[in-house]
Amino acid sequence: MATETPVIVDGHAGETVAQEIEAGMPQLDFSTFPNQIFWLLIALFAIYFILTRIGLPRVGGVLAERQGTITNHIAAAEELKLRAQHAEKAYDKALADARIEAGKIVAAAKADIQGDLDQAIAKADEEIAAKSAESEASINEIRKGAVAAIEEVAKETAGALVGALGGTSDQAAIDAAVQARLKG
């Protein structure tokens, strides 16, 4: 167990301690209220002075600077937005012009190709016509040769048949009969 020893202050043992314990908290002692109020007012005035002269101007400056920065950034963003819109319009116009130019180039290329194709077709038609005329001449020549050969064979066969049947073959009469039959 702990033993309590009385405190001796100015030769009076325990009297002042007992008085202090009975008095309670010093903040609640009405006899010290004027002194506490005085120091409270001094502390409040000092805090007010420090805040109004040092703290609040700095905070106000920071807020004003921040608002200025925000305003500048918004203005810059609007300007960049307008530039972007103008650039988009210019891009769209350039794209439309490029499409028109590409259409013209395609049309010109088609016309060139069509011209070359027409020339090639005309040349091929000429070659075909020449070969066709040559072929027809060749066919006519073959026909004439065939008709002459048929006529020759018909005359010989008619002479051989007349001779086989026991008649006399008159070459002039056979030629006239073959000619009459070939004409129709």
Q: What is the pLDDT of residues 118-161, one digit of tens each?
A: 999 999 999 999 999 999 999 988 988 888 888 888 878 888 88
Cβ contact 174:162 at 8 Å: yes
Say how far apart CA 155 and CA 175 lie, in whole Å.
6
Q: Is the confidence at residue 4, as pLDDT, over 60? A: no
Q: Write the Ramachandran bin of 166: left for phi over 0, alpha for psi from -120 to 50, otherwise beta.
A: left
Cα–Cα distance measured from residue 184 to residue 172, given in angstroms and rounded to the nearest whole number: 19
What is the pTM assigned to this prediction? Answer: 0.41
Phi-psi sector, 23: left (phi>0), alpha (psi -120 to 50), beta: alpha
